[in-house]
Chains A and B, each alone.
Chain A
Amino acid sequence: MSKRIVIVDDSNFLINQLAAFMEEAMDYTVVGKGSDGNQAIALYREHKPDLITLDITMPNKDGMEALEEILKEFPEANVMMISAIRGPEMAKCIKMGAKAYMEKPLLFNEDQFLQDFKASLAEVFDG
């Protein structure tokens, strides 16, 4: 049975790219898509997915706030941050409890990216 994922990003372009990649290349089922932190929390409550990806910079409620609220309510949640932000936020997200952090751009056509992405997923589920 394939794993279920919720993807949250304020860019529909990115959501579609990532959703296609996760379904076609990684055999995941995308059960929800959202564009801000409030939707992330609502979608997590609704679907309790195996994995949720969160962008950091989003309107209304950013990804770090959503991360904090999701983990407060669901401490076992598997959260992968996917953001163009490099710097202290990256370490902060991991410290807060995110299981992995991927930097944009997501280079789906590059072997190295695929290796890194798969390694990050393995880290999420295998620890």
Chain B
Amino acid sequence: MSAADPLQGTLASLSPVFESCVIWAVRAILESDVKVKAPFESVHSIPEGSSLYCILPTANTRYHAQLVMGLEESEIETMFPQEMDARFRKDAIGEMANVISGLFVADDLFIARFGYLRPSTPFFSEGAFTARKDWGLMGKIEAKGKEMLLHFSIRELKEPPTAAQNEFGGGALKREGSPD
């Protein structure tokens, strides 16, 4: 992929939008201050370094995208101390991904460039996972003293996605951990 890929420039221009969606959603859901620990910028890399990933695919007939939230599984309890059930805490992370993605893909600038992308349901990958390198936006935030990595990638499809691709990440992901 050359550095002249037009997606790179488009994504760079959407970086402030993505950042504001992330900050608003996390602040609202966790009822906590949110600090940016690593600036949001366009990248051509895959997210890594977290023990748990929440993955939320979105797609239309032309594009496939996915939001990945990376965090430490042992720290989720700190984020949702009122929730006793570990499964429900994971659900809460999925809700956060839903809201971030829902806000971002509904942004006017995003829709003007990519059209409307419909979300699928979130799923989880524990430990490492491999992903195809697509252009994306990545940054890190801190909320309630815990870091979260946010990565939104998108690629143009040669063929429309199948239902299974929409459900499981367009073939971009091969889960290596224990899926939820």
One digit per residue, 1 when the CB lies within 8 angstroms of any chain B CB and 0 when it does not, for chain A 77-92 equals 0000001111111000
Chain A interface size, under 10 / 10 to 19 / 20 to 34 / 35 or more: 20 to 34
Give how many B residues have a beta carbon under 8 Å from the other chain's beta carbons: 27
Report whether A57 and B98 are in contact in the complex, using a CB–CB cutoff of 8 Å.
yes
Q: Do residues A84 and B98 form an inter-chain contact, with CB atoms below 8 A? A: yes
Q: Does A11 contact B91, Cβ atoms closer than 8 Å?
A: yes
Secondary structure call for the B interface: helix
As a 0/1 sequence over residues 40 to 77 of chain B, the CB contacts with chain A under 8 angstroms (1 = contact) are 00000000000000000000000000000000000000
Given A11-B92, A107-B28, check contact A57 B121 (CB 8 Å): yes
Residues 67-109 (chain A) with a chain B CB within 8 angstroms: 83-89, 103-105, 107, 109
Q: Is there a chain A Cβ closer than 8 Å to B102's Cβ?
A: yes
CB distance from A40 to the nearest CB of B (A): 15
State the majority secondary structure of interface residues on A: loop
Which A residue sits closest to B116, measured CB to CB?
A: A87
Chain B contacts with A in 1-47, Cβ cutoff 8 A: 25, 28-29, 31
Q: Within 8 Å CB of A107, what residues of B?
A: 28
Chain B minimum-CB-distance residue to A56 = B119
For B121, give its contact among A10, A16, A103, A105 (CB under 8 Å).
A10
Residues of A within 8 A of B103 (CB): 84, 86
